[in-house]
Structure 1
Amino acid sequence: MTKAEIREEVLDILADIAPDEDLSNLDDSQSFREQMELDSMDFLDIVMELRKRHRVQIPEDDYVNLASMNSTVEYLEPLMKDIEKV
Structure 2
Amino acid sequence: MSKVTMYFKVTCPYCARAEKLLKERGVTDIEKIGIDTNREARAEMIERSGGRTTVPQIFINGTHVGGCDDIHALDAEGKLVPMLTA
TM value normalised by structure 2: 0.30
* Higher RCO (Cα < 8 Å, 6 or more apart): 1
Q: More strand by proportion, 1 or 2?
A: 2
